[in-house]
Amino acid sequence: MEIEKIINRIKNHEKADGIGMIASHLGIVRGFSRKGGDISAVNVKYDMDALNKVIAHIKSMPGIIEVLVEVNEGHLKVGDELMFVAIGGDIRENVFAALIEAVNRIKKQAVSKEEIFIS
């Protein structure tokens, strides 16, 4: 993932003069499951239609100017990057709220993940 390029795309947006903040989330594969147990990898698949619907919704939120999401699919090992979300908007209250909603909705509506447990 080319995080700096993604951030620069937001900074160079045609409405950049209205951007007072960029917030981001970088999800990485961790070595343990929320269900308990250590994992070595995950198999990840994104529903791109659902992802695009989430992005469109977040862009419609008050004060939000741009939403960019990059995802990695397939067999990912511990430490690999899963997803990068960057949101540019007017003020922190709007941008933080949008980032939290975006990440939560993507994880609930647009991704399926199979954890590979260490035996």
Domain spans, the chain: 3-117
Query: How sure is the predictor about 1, in pLDDT bands with cuts at 50, 70 and 90?
Result: confident
Q: What ranges make up the beta strands (E) of 1-107?
A: 21-28, 39-46, 64-71, 74-77, 81-89
- The single-letter code of the amino acid at 2 is E
Query: How sure is the predictor about 119, in pLDDT bands with cuts at 50, 70 and 90?
Result: confident
Whole-number Å distance between alpha carbons of 113 and 116: 10
Quote the pTM value. Answer: 0.95
88 and 10 Cβ atoms separated by less than 8 Å: yes
Under CATH, what is the fold of the domain 3-117?
Answer: Aldehyde Oxidoreductase; domain 3 (3.90.1170)
Report pLDDT digits (tens) over 36-80.
Answer: 999 999 999 999 999 999 999 999 999 999 999 999 999 999 999
